[in-house]
Amino acid sequence: MVFQRLTAFALIGLTTATQVGAEAGGDPTRGEALFRQCSGCHQIGEGAENRIGPQLNHIFDRAAGAVEGFRYSNGLSRAAAVGLAWNYDTLDAFIENPRTLVSNTRMSFRGMPDQQDRDDLVAYLRVFSDSPMNIPEAAPTARAVDHAVAPEVLAVVGDPAYGEYLSGECTSCHQKSGASDGIPSITNWRAEDFVIAMHAYKDGVRAHPVMQMMAGRLSTEEIAALAAYFERIDQKV
Amino acid sequence: MPLNRRTFIGAVVATSGVISTPMLRAQGRPRVVVIGGGAGGATAARYIAKDSDGAIDVTLVEPSRAYYTCFFSNLYIGGFREMNSLGHSYGTLAAEYGINVVHDWAVAVDRDAKTVTLASGGVLPYDRLIVSPGIDFVDGAVKGWDVSAQNVMPHAYKAGSQTELLKAQILAMPEGGTFAMVAPPNPYRCPPGPYERVSMVAHLLKQVNPTAKIIVADPKANFSKQGLFEEGWAANYAGMIERVGPEFGGGNVEVDPVAMTISIDGDVNRIDVCNVIPAMKAGRIAQIAGITEGNWAPVNAHDMSSKMDSNIHVLGDAAAQGDMPKSGYAANSQAKVCANAVRGALTGSTVFPARFANTCWSLIDTDNGVKVGATYEATPEKIATVNGFISEIGESAELRAATYRESIGWYEGITVDIFG
């Protein structure tokens, strides 16, 4: 993947700025139309200002949570602190489903499931970034991995009793009370959110090394068991 | 959650008079005795009591009424924590979980009769015994030092008054004075601990006594998070810290608590403070119980049971278990595996496969935290590493600050997991 990105960067260096959008496989004109789904909260282009969401100029290669004057959610600030930066892969994953990357983000966007739509939207965002890097060359050779959690994985019904045993690994850091100073709360999440977040760590899409390690050896069933337990932790008798 | 528990305890009281006398009920329940109320023992007691919903009678034997965690005690030396923030009582374990907390020393174990004898003379019968006594020091490990010298040359490796004494001595050092540390050989409690301590001592001295020097005599060629610490020392405490490794005689040390000198490979230095961290062994009761081999108590990885006695389990620093470091996090992790196995053996509850994890955070300077961690599994031979990670050299200040904030959150989380 890294090699591909480097290759892509070298190729981009050889092309003119106007050709880049097409090389990336996205259509910025179509992306502009898709951006209407975003423009209720985000501005982009000359004179763009922070509104409900931050302005999106120069988003490529910028650290997450870095727009001056914008108050980010704790979730996004935390993701930023452990190294989330915006590039083709992370924007693609975030637009597909914001919860994949950032739990409890205030960005209440249902997500954009279609890969071509996302490519077009990212191509549009890219028009407003200088010297954009980290954008793969044309499809399909360098397409980002699909970050969606497969429906059959989401459909696994977890055993809360097994989840309670496994939760011992979580409660060495995360508190059952839901207290969230320094270490985020993991209680009472919707099971689906929990599963998406854990698979994102397991697949290395989310950056945190402890969580990548812990999630890395959890099976689909074990993640579902934990999700089932933590979703109803307060209702346990 | 607490409401549910209280409701449950109330229900037991209400029904016990009808079914049988409370005494008979207690005698009918399987009994677990836990020796040691630290990260291993308190966690095991809490999980067994909590998950068995009163079906197992749990007694925790711990001499101290307030337990001061060794983890984070270096931050007290550095000025980042108050000592009372490291203290934890056993009130919640007794009140909310129904654990019988006995503040006494365990002085003998009769493995045939399955009883523990207390210093007060009391005798506790058990069906399963969990031994989690932490560490003691190997006699004669550092020439010139024994426990009678610990008020002059503190080890400060069991937190509390020793830690306070060491900090007071550092604050009383003359201007430009010398702090010496005798670092321990492997294996020992908290592998990054001595080096986090060096960092915290340097942090303190930099503010109150910036021309002071730190000298570390170390018998080990390498140590935990070495690259990260050395990077941090060079960046934040340049010229202050000298570490003498074994290649220059760091393992050939003799101290004189009367003359206040340390001899490293025959080279005698006058010092103002000397922190002696000797070689370690399992807490004494493990040796008394006859479950040790050499300095430590070997265990089976899948349930932390002693290789000498299947009715006894050993947790934390005292256990020889394989790849896990001796840390509070590791003891807490092992305790949950042990609790699950003990509960299964005594009540027939489901026993899930063992799984272990550890992460150690260390503070190098203000908002400069680093960490190392791994997950582990049980093999027939030992607890074996599965995968792991370590902080990288050259990380951003933001990431290091986030790691430190995370460590504070971890402290709150794990102490709730241990003490309720």
Q: pLDDT, tens digit, for every residue of B135-159?
A: 999 999 999 999 999 999 999 999 9
- Strands lying side by side in the sheet with B383-390: B355-365, B368-378, B383-390
User: How is residue A227 written in tokens?
Assistant: 């999700």
**Mutant choice from A183, A229, A236 vs B, greatest count of B C-beta within 10 A:** A183
Is the residue at B98 inside a domain? yes
Q: Which residue has the tokens 């272990």?
A: B356
Residues of chain A contacting residue B405, judged by C-beta atoms under 8 Å apart: 81, 182
How far is A215 from chain B, CA to nearest CA, in Å?
10
- pLDDT value, residue A138: 34
Class for the domain spanning A151-235: mainly alpha
For the segment B372-395, what is each residue's pLDDT rounded down to a tens digit?
999 999 999 999 999 999 999 999
pLDDT value at B3 more than 70 = no
Are the C-beta atoms of B291 and B283 separated by less than 8 Å?
A: no
Are the C-beta atoms of B33 and B62 separated by less than 8 Å?
A: no
Cis peptide before B298 (omega within 30 of 0): no
CA-angle at B326, arms to B325 and B330, nearest 5°: 80
pLDDT value at A136 more than 80 = no
pLDDT band at A160 (very low <50, low <70, confident <90, very high): very high
Chain A touched by B406 (CB under 8 Å): yes
Whether residue B65 is found in the same domain as residue B109: yes
Closest CB to B413: pick one of A174, A213, A214.
A174
Q: What is the mean pLDDT of residues A156-165?
A: 95
User: How is residue B150 written in tokens?
Assistant: 């610990």
pLDDT band at B13 (very low <50, low <70, confident <90, very high): very low
**Mutant choice from B46, B350, B355 vs A, greatest count of A C-beta within 10 A:** B355
Q: What is the mean pLDDT of residues B222-241?
A: 97
Chain B touched by A62 (CB under 8 Å): no
**Mutant choice from A210, A211, A221, A236 vs B, greatest count of B C-beta within 10 A:** A210
* Domain stops at, among B351, B375, B403: B351
Whether residue B123 is found in the same domain as residue B164: no
Q: What is the C-alpha separation between B280 and B282, in angstroms, rounded?
A: 7
Give B135-160 as a 3 state SS string. Answer: EEECCCCCECCCHHHCCCCCCCCCCC
The domain of B64 spans: 2-136+281-351
CA dist list (Å): B38 to B41, B42, B61, B136, B290: 5, 6, 11, 14, 21
pLDDT band at A10 (very low <50, low <70, confident <90, very high): very low
Chain A touched by B374 (CB under 8 Å): yes
Chain B touched by A74 (CB under 8 Å): no
A83-92, B82-91, B162-171, B266-275, range with the lowest pLDDT:
A83-92
Instruction: Report which secondary-structure segment, H or E, holds A151.
Output: helix A151-154
- pLDDT value, residue A141: 27
Whether residue B115 is found in the same domain as residue B238: no
Are the C-beta atoms of A8 and A15 separated by less than 8 Å?
A: no
* Domain stops at, among B325, B351, B377: B351
Q: What is the C-alpha separation between B168 and B277, in angstroms, rounded?
A: 17
Residues of chain A contacting residue B375, judged by C-beta atoms under 8 Å apart: 213-214, 216-217
User: Which residues, numbered 127 to 166 in chain A, qualify as contacts with chain B under a Cβ-Cβ cut-off of 8 Å?
Assistant: 161-162, 164-166
Range A2-127 classified under CATH 1.10.760.10: yes
Residue type, B164: E
For the segment A85-100, what is each residue's pLDDT rounded down to a tens digit?
898 888 999 999 998 8
pLDDT band at A198 (very low <50, low <70, confident <90, very high): very high
How far is A236 from chain B, CA to nearest CA, in Å?
8
Whether residue B155 is found in the same domain as residue B114: no
Chain B touched by A85 (CB under 8 Å): no
For chain A, the domains span 2-127, 151-235
Number of separate domains in chain B: 2
Are the C-beta atoms of A105 and A200 separated by less than 8 Å?
A: no
Residues of chain A contacting residue B336, judged by C-beta atoms under 8 Å apart: 168-169
Q: What is the C-alpha separation between B207 and B331, in angstroms, rounded?
A: 35
Q: What is the C-alpha separation between A104 and A189, in angstroms, rounded?
A: 10
Is the residue at B290 inside a domain? yes
User: Which CATH number do you get for residue B73?
Assistant: 3.50.50.60
Shared fold status for A2-127 and A151-235: yes
Q: What is the C-alpha separation between B46 and B57, in angstroms, rounded?
A: 11
3-state secondary structure of A223: helix
Whether residue B301 is found in the same domain as residue B232: no
Instruction: Report which secondary-structure segment, H or E, holds B384.
Output: strand B383-390
Give the closest residue to A30 by CA, choosing from A94, A91, A105, A120: A120
Q: What is the mean pLDDT of residues A92-121?
A: 90
pLDDT value at B24 more than 60 = no
Are the C-beta atoms of B275 and B154 separated by less than 8 Å?
A: yes
ipTM of the shown complex:
0.85
How far is B395 from chain A, CA to nearest CA, in Å?
10
